[in-house]
Amino acid sequence: MKRSPVLKMAEKEKKIIDAAITIISEKGFSASTTSEIAQMAGVAEGTIFRYFKTKKDILRGIVIHLVKIMGEPLILDSFKKMLFTQNQQDLRSIIKALLKERLALMEVIYPMLRIVVTEAMYHEDIRKILYEEIVSKALNIFKLFREEMVAKGLMAGDIDPLAASRSIYGNLVALFVYRKFFGSMTRLENLDQDLDHVVDIIMHGLAAGRK
Amino acid sequence: MKRSPVLKMAEKEKKIIDAAITIISEKGFSASTTSEIAQMAGVAEGTIFRYFKTKKDILRGIVIHLVKIMGEPLILDSFKKMLFTQNQQDLRSIIKALLKERLALMEVIYPMLRIVVTEAMYHEDIRKILYEEIVSKALNIFKLFREEMVAKGLMAGDIDPLAASRSIYGNLVALFVYRKFFGSMTRLENLDQDLDHVVDIIMHGLAAGRK
DNA sequence: GATAAAAATGAGTGATTACTCACTCCGTAA
DNA sequence: TTACGGAGTGAGTAATCACTCATTTTTATC
């Protein structure tokens, strides 16, 4: 009786997944072809169908893989660490550091993000996974963070925590999208300047007589 | 010499665009077929190619349609009116009304939005149209609005106007996405309550000792 | 009603696709 | 050495697609 070379199997599968991420992220799912993926992965086209029953199954494999990676304790942990062990007493610096770190992360995982966002727009089940694995967790962490900040007297206590974190993420994504998508059409400000503006608005709002 | 029935022509074109929006919004651009679109529009497949040189031109047609809707005199006017002729001296109510109106519009044109957002992620030329026809215009209108508000002493004068409008739109989209995508997974608050929270944060930020 | 131009049609076409399957290759065990 | 079985292959296939074009239908004008 022969034993299957499990490790090699995983390697090939990973090669295919990696190639699929690259290609699908560039052209979208339907516009990507299995022969293209096979070529980039360095395998025969037939091999793909030994690991994935259909083309759609490749996508399923990717999305679950991606959501797991993005929600991985590693990422969430570094997030937590940043929020809680920052020894500075300055909420402003904490939020700026948080935004900066998240922005860098989004930049790194952008190819994956693009696939997940696209699929999430069209499939409820993926939105559900996304919510359970990432959104709800991020919201909970923020709630803890907020409690600590309120206790320290740094953050207003009468704000709805859900609305507050939604706002922070909204600001974050707006900045990311603007710089990523429309950056080539205007003269971009220095990132740190942009961040300072955002943090300023998040902290004190737009109304007159703030400060 | 014969004259072409201009009105009927526009009608057919609109039928095709409407059918395309329905189908592409459901299945994505690449997965939608021209024969399907023709069938739903009630025209022959060949007819589509009299109005749109290629399939991709249909997509461009949808984007242009969106631009027209967003920039339509009627809507833009009501937008401007809302921003400038609001006789209340209360910036808070103005922004709330603005958000509410934009939210309702986004809801109505959601199928189209989904297509445009998806394709904008993959095609620079679509991003460019969006920027020139919508983003930059919206930014300009906001700048004027801000100047007026600052003059009236309602809005802080030392805030970068680009960052400010980006922030408002970020908050708007975050609320829309949360309610639209994750609304079924949690108990949603009343929309007006949500709006009040958002406006509160936009106005005064998260820092302690605001108000 | 006659005429002609424009608009609409849909069968046809070449290109492309996801997927199949008969086959090769190779590590292992007897 | 031989024989086995699964991993890997890639030419082949049926289906599907965007787009064309010769033909028919509709329309406007006299």
B50-106 pLDDT per residue, tens:
999 999 999 999 999 998 888 765 556 666 666 666 555 688 888 898 899 889 989
Provide the pLDDT for residue B68: 86
Instruction: Please give the distance of CA A116 from its chain centroid, rounded to a whole number.
Output: 9
Beta-carbon contacts of residue B179 (< 8 Å; ≥ 6 apart): B188, B191, B194
Q: In Å, what is the separation between the CA of A28 and the C1' of C21?
A: 29
Model confidence at A6: pLDDT above 50: no
Helix residue ranges per DSSP H, A52-151:
55-71, 73-85, 91-108, 110-122, 124-130, 136-151
Partner A, chain B 182-201, Cβ-Cβ below 8 Å: 182, 184-185, 194, 197-198, 200-201
Closest-CA distance of chain A to residue B193, Å: 10
Residue A47 corresponds to which tokens in the numbers above? 């091999």
Q: A77-105 pLDDT, tens per residue?
A: 777 776 666 565 688 888 898 899 889 98
Residue B49 corresponds to which tokens in the numbers above? 């190619």
Q: What percentage of chain B reaches a pLDDT higher than 90? A: 63
pLDDT band at B4 (very low <50, low <70, confident <90, very high): very low
Provide the pLDDT for residue A4: 38
Q: In Å, what is the separation between the CA of A54 and the C1' of C15?
A: 22
- Report CA-CA distances (Å) from A95 to A126, A180, B197: 29, 21, 20
Query: Strand C: which residues have Cβ below 7 Å from it?
Result: A 1-3, 32-35, 45-46, 49, 54-56; B 1-2, 4-5, 8-9, 12, 43-47, 49-50
Provide the pLDDT for residue A209: 73
Model pTM?
0.89
**CA–CA–CA angle A84, A90, A96 (5° rounding):** 75
